[in-house]
Chains A and B, each alone.
Chain A
Amino acid sequence: MASQTQTRNPAFYALIAALVFMSAGPIALMLATSFKTNVDVYDASVSAFFFTPTIQNYETVLCNVLWYEPAHVDYCDPTFGRALKNSLIVGLISTGLTLVIGCMAAYALVRFRFMGRGTVSMTTLLMRMVPPAVLLVPVFGIWTFQFGLDQTYTGIILIYTAMNLPFVIWILQSFIVQVPIQLEEAARMDGANPFQVFFLVVLPIIQPGLAAAAIFTFRIAWNEFLLANALSGRSTRTVPVTIVNSITEYDINWGVIMATGMLLAIPPILFTFVASKQIITGMTAGAVKG
């Protein structure tokens, strides 16, 4: 094999190292800056990565959820602590809801042969085509004037669930197809009803698919800005909305804003390191196999 001999070539390692550096560099810089005081940020003689680190920025951001009062914080701004709670509520509930509903629909589509996979793939692609910006006007109008859901968690959760459902149904379908029907028939012979078969037999088998779907759904709900901005009120604002609100000011405190950004980025980064395989499966499933 010609390609096998070339793998010893150090140039490839250098290339990979360079790519890793380029990809992770900006994130590392953000992490470093989040431990920097504002004085150090503006001081050109302080290096980007080598300085005296401080957790002051994180203390400023999280001042109202900490169990102690940080000495350097004169006025505690509760905005971010509240937004973090809101983001968690919205992200977790909408993910749970999307998974349960999407799972049931995917199961019915596969086992009871409603529509072919083609129809669902087509719908998923069409839904993917719709930019969130396009949903902005109608969702704002309907949620405010007809459903009365503006400024509530329910409103934001509802639109996130609807946005994610097509993709979740589609990806779970490809996992459910692989569950042997004999297993379900056996369970049914033992007297299980359709709901028991679904929850006790099918769900445990498709766990990897559920993990992939959960990560993608949570990521979108956690990261989304546009619709959250239009639908949330003062007390239901999510983290991305508060970040954008705080950078429109003229004087930016880079350390604090980077700490905020870092806190928003931590969950997705953790998911990536824990489940990169599932994420790649979810990402490639559409184009390579479908």
Chain B
Amino acid sequence: MSVAIKANRLTPYLFLAPAGIILIFALLYPIGYMVYASFLDWSPSQRIGQAEFIGLRNYINLMSDEAFRESFWVTIRFAAVVVTLEMALGVGLALLLDRNIPGMAVLRTVFILPMMIAPIVVGLMWRYMYHPTVGIFNRTLKDMGLEGIPWLSDSTWSFIAVVIADVWQWTPFIFILALAAMQSLPRSALEAAEIDGASEWQKIILIKLPLMMPVLIVTLLLRLIDAFKVLEVILVLTNGGPGLSTEILALRIFRTAQEFQELGEAAAMSNVLLMLLMAITIGMFAYNRVQEARAARQRAIAEKGDD
């Protein structure tokens, strides 16, 4: 009997053990290791014990590195542009298509496709379409008698090209989340507004959007985090070029480790990227808290006023 009780007590730990072991050894340990490695002068042929401890020098080198600063701003610009465009398009389309049309199921299925196929393949598809001579865009332009666009060989156009590919791939994500949020809105609020004679626009701005706000903020946060992780599509499309015009941080980390074999410096860059993402996440959470607290306070005041 006592053995059985003991076994029962141990069961939860037995169930958790494999997951715990894997997460600790294959995820937490590497991340801690990375923080340590960022203080080392380390190349891939060395064991980590042989690498020299150089304190903050990797970080100082980064701060004074023109190319790193440039790629830091490219990352920020890329994330800001794609997330803004995708939020506007995704939420706009969701507002427009929030009705029972038979074709919606097909649209939703087709819309998931770009997110499901490998980013490498997405990059491949767009690279083919952007191709200066065989690509469909320039061929169409030439057929219409216009000049072809240097999609991937001009620094401004290549940034636009990368943004378009990302918008194509990820707008559906926002659309699907916004649509799900919209369809779980309380019907009563909308019906009450209709009875009061609210126009479509008033309903959207005064009721739908405010009620969807919590979901939209989480969606924005998720998309923003993912925008900093984009790598494969850009790697295949432009490999960061021309110049540094599309070299976002994730790509720079990859190239620093792979091509230039500077593991310590790559670790320091990884740390900067991680801290940036952490700051965004914490900022979003704090903003959410403040908003909730303010809403609660307003509700309390409103209720007092009613008494």
Partner of A128, one of B111, B118, B215, B222: B222
Which residues of chain A are near B42, meaning CB under 8 Å? 141
Could you mark each residue 113-152 of chain B with 1 if its beta carbon is under 8 Å from any beta carbon of chain A, else 0?
A: 1101111110011111100011010010010000000000
**Contacts from A to B (Cβ < 8 Å):** 2-4, 6-7, 12-13, 15-17, 19-20, 22-24, 26-27, 29-30, 33, 41-42, 44, 48, 101-102, 104-105, 107-109, 111-112, 114, 125-142, 144-145, 158-159, 161-163, 165-166, 169, 193-194, 198, 219, 222-223, 225-226, 229-230, 240, 243-244, 247, 254, 257-258, 261, 264-265, 268-269, 271-273, 276, 279-280, 283-284, 286-288, 290
Is B209 an interface residue when CB atoms closer than 8 A count as contact? no
**Contacting pair A280 B112 (CB below 8 A):** yes
Number of interface residues of B (CB under 8 A): 96
Pair A136/B124 contact, Cβ less than 8 Å: no
Identify 13 new A-B residue pairs, CB closer than 8 A, beyond the known A134-B273, A134-B274, A247-B127.
Answer: A2-B194, A29-B128, A109-B16, A114-B12, A130-B277, A133-B270, A134-B270, A142-B33, A158-B22, A254-B128, A269-B116, A283-B177, A288-B181
The 6 closest A-B CB pairs, nearest first, are A162-B26, A108-B15, A105-B19, A223-B118, A138-B30, A133-B250
Q: Is the CB of B139 within 8 A of A264?
A: no
- Rounded to whole Å, the gap between the CB of A140 and the closest CB of chain B is 7
Cross-chain contact A137 with B263 (CB below 8 angstroms): yes
Q: Which residues of A contact B126 (CB under 8 A)?
A: 26
A163 CB, min distance to chain B CBs, angstroms = 7
B235 at the interface (CB under 8 A from A): yes
B16 touches A141 (CB 8 A): no
Set A29, A112, A268: member contacting B136, Cβ < 8 A: A29
Within 8 Å by CB of A26, from B109, B125, B257, lies: B125
Q: Please state if A243 and B194 are interface contacts (CB–CB under 8 Å).
A: no
- Known interface pairs A107-B15, A137-B37; A276-B48 also in contact (CB < 8 Å): no
- Is B260 an interface residue, CB under 8 A from the partner? no
| B163 within 8 A of partner (CB) | no
- B236 touches A (CB below 8 Å): yes
The minimal Cβ–Cβ distance linking B176 to chain A, given in whole angstroms, is: 6
Q: Does B87 contact A (CB under 8 A)?
A: no
Contact B19 A104 (CB under 8 A): yes
Which of these, B112, B172, B236, B253, contacts A134 with CB under 8 Å?
B253
Whether the pair B112, A276 counts as a contact (CB closer than 8 A) is: yes
Q: In the complex, which residues of chain B have a beta carbon less than 8 angstroms from the beta carbon of A4? A: 99-100
Q: Is B31 an interface residue (CB 8 A)?
A: yes
B128 proximity list for chain A (CB < 8 A): 29-30, 33, 254, 258
| Interface set, chain B 86-108, CB cutoff 8 A to A | 93, 96-101, 103-104, 106-108
From residue A245, how far is it (CB to closest CB) to chain B in Å? 11
Report the number of A-B residue pairs with Cβ-Cβ less than 8 Å.
278
* Set of chain A residues within 8 Å of B103, measured between Cβ atoms: 13, 16-17, 20
> Least Cβ distance of A57 to chain B in Å?
13
Task: Collect the chain B residues with CB atoms within 8 Å of residue A27's CB.
Answer: 113-114, 117, 125
- A3 proximity list for chain B (CB < 8 A): 98-99
Interface of B is mostly: helix
User: Is A133 touching B119 in the complex (CB atoms < 8 A)?
Assistant: no
For residue B29, which residue of chain A has the nearest CB? Answer: A142
Query: Which of B64-72, B223-231, B293-301 has 4 or more CB atoms under 8 Å from chain A?
Result: B223-231
Closest to A162 in B: B26
Contact between chains at B26 and A159 (CB < 8 Å): yes
Quick check: B236 and A247 within 8 Å, CB to CB?
A: yes
A15 touches B254 (CB 8 A): no
Bound: A233/B117 CA distance, A = 24
Instruction: Report the minimal beta-carbon distance from B112 to chain A, rounded to whole angstroms.
Output: 5
B253's partner among A133, A145, A283 (CB-CB below 8 A) is A133
Known A-B contacts A114-B12, A132-B229, A162-B22; the reply to A261 vs B121 at CB < 8 A is yes
Residues of A near B277 (CB, < 8 A) are: 129-131
Q: Nearest B residue to A285 by beta-carbon distance?
A: B180
1/0 contact string of B227-255 vs chain A (CB within 8 Å): 01101100110000000000001110110
- In this complex, the member of A165, A247, A284 whose beta carbon has the largest number of chain B beta carbons within 10 angstroms is A284
Interface residues of B in 139-196 (CB under 8 A from A): 139, 142, 168, 172-173, 176-177, 180-181, 184, 194
Q: Is there contact, CB below 8 Å, between A129 and B113?
A: no
A22 near B22 (CB under 8 angstroms)? no
In the assembled complex, which residues on chain B have CB atoms less than 8 Å from the CB atom of A26?
A: 114, 125-126, 129, 168
Which residue of B109, B219, B225 is within 8 Å of A287 (Cβ)? B219
Shortest Cβ gap from A247 to chain B (Å): 7
The residue among A108, A109, A140 with the most chain B CB atoms within 10 A of its own CB is: A108
Q: Is the CB of B22 within 8 A of A280?
A: no
Q: Which single residue of chain B is at the shortest CB-CB distance from A243?
A: B120
B114 touching A23 by the CB < 8 A rule?
yes
Are B253 and A225 within 8 A (Cβ)?
no
Decide if B107 touches A16 in the complex (CB within 8 Å).
yes
A247 to B265, CA, bound (A): 27
